[in-house]
């Protein structure tokens, strides 16, 4: 019951206030802690960089999980009326749906002022070079960012909260943050390899759940979705992106890398607003399913305790 209530309150907190400022955001604190360790590992020869990156990842994740376990244990000693809002406050920073929606919506608003304005606004949502994108390309990239982060910033943290409580949600946020910071090619190829593979492993099932929430799939649709998702280099990111492309009936892609739903037309002026509507409906399903799952788990646990007594 406590976990379900915490999700509901955290949902309301995110919807009303969004993300706290960086000065107060636990993910920003974690990033400042991880940054120098990553830079140190990236400067080493390949084999040593891989070992150093893996060791740094393990140490950082252990610290995050230990902190979450201490918080959760402390809350367990409090009355429910005190523990509930505190657990919600601890959970809320592990997902970032309101901020993502606001940033994607701002891209369309910026495009109204011109292509250059849209490109500049898009830079905060992706790591690709935006200077060569046309208006359709800007929209494609914004829709892809929305779909991929629908999993990374919402489905996956709530999935792991349901599975493992606050340590699960915080662990996912740390894993995904380290992948975003370290999991690049080039100078980071070896130092970030462990972080990238760990993110792939822990995000595997949530990414497929996210795709199903964005585009409920029949058996035939599932085959099409799998085929499209496999076009991307990422084992996970392609699933929600392909689901969004097929639900919108538009073409999405990264120039020179992949194309999703290639027979469709590029997204037009209304596609981004439509994608946001689909994402919002998907987010409602995610929260309601997570709450329902927590209630079921609580009921089964109570039933098992009664039988054990």
Q: pLDDT at position 218, please? A: 63
Q: pLDDT at position 229, please? A: 93
What are the backbone dihedrals phi and psi of residue 126, each rounded to the nearest 5 degrees, phi first? -150, 165
- Terminal-to-terminal C-alpha distance of the chain: 20
Per-residue pLDDT tens, the chain, 309 aa: give them.
799 999 999 999 999 998 888 888 999 999 999 999 988 999 899 999 999 999 999 999 999 999 999 999 999 999 999 999 999 999 999 999 999 999 999 999 999 999 999 999 999 888 888 888 999 999 999 999 999 999 999 999 999 999 999 999 999 999 999 999 998 877 888 999 999 999 999 999 999 999 999 987 666 778 889 999 999 999 999 999 999 999 999 999 988 899 999 999 999 989 999 999 999 999 999 999 999 999 999 999 888 877 876
Q: pLDDT at position 219, please? A: 64
Contact 142, 103 (CB under 8 A): no
> Can you tell me the distance from the alpha carbon of 277 to that of 283, in angstroms, rounded to the nearest whole number?
10
> Can you tell me the distance from the alpha carbon of 265 to that of 252, in angstroms, rounded to the nearest whole number?
9
Contact 178, 41 (CB under 8 A): no
> Residue ranges of the domains in the chain?
2-308
Contact 7, 161 (CB under 8 A): yes
> Can you tell me the distance from the alpha carbon of 35 to that of 272, in angstroms, rounded to the nearest whole number?
33
């Amino acid at each position: 019951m406590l976990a379900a209530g915490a999700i509901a309150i955290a949902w309301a907190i995110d919807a009303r206030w969004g993300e706290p400022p960086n000065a107060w955001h636990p993910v920003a604190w974690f990033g400042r802690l991880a940054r120098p360790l990553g830079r140190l590992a990236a400067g080493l020869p390949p084999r040593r960089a891989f070992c150093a990156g893996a060791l740094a990842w393990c140490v950082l994740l252990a610290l995050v999980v230990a902190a979450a376990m201490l918080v959760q244990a402390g809350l367990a000693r409090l009355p429910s009326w005190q523990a509930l809002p505190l657990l919600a406050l601890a959970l809320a920073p592990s997902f970032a749906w309101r901020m993502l929606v606001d940033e994607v919506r701002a891209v369309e608003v910026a495009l109204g002022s011109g292509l250059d304005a849209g490109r500049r606004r898009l830079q905060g949502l992706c790591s690709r070079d935006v200077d060569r994108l046309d208006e359709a390309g800007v929209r494609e990239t914004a829709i892809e960012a929305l779909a991929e982060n629908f999993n990374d910033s919402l489905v996956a943290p709530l999935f792991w909260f349901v599975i493992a409580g606050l340590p699960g949600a915080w662990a996912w946020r740390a894993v995904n943050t380290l992948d975003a910071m370290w999991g690049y090619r080039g100078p980071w190829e070896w130092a970030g390899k462990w972080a990238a593979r760990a993110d792939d492993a822990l995000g595997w099932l949530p990414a497929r759940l996210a795709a199903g929430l964005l585009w409920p799939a029949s058996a035939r649709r599932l085959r099409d979705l799998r085929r499209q998702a496999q076009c991307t280099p990422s084992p996970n990111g392609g699933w929600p992106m392909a689901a969004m492309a097929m639900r919108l009936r538009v073409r999405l892609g990264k120039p020179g890398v992949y194309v999703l739903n290639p027979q469709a037309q590029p997204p037009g002026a209304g596609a981004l607003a439509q994608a946001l509507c689909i994402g919002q409906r998907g987010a409602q399903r995610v929260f309601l399913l997570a709450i329902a799952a927590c209630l079921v788990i609580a009921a089964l646990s109570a039933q098992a305790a009664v039988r054990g007594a």
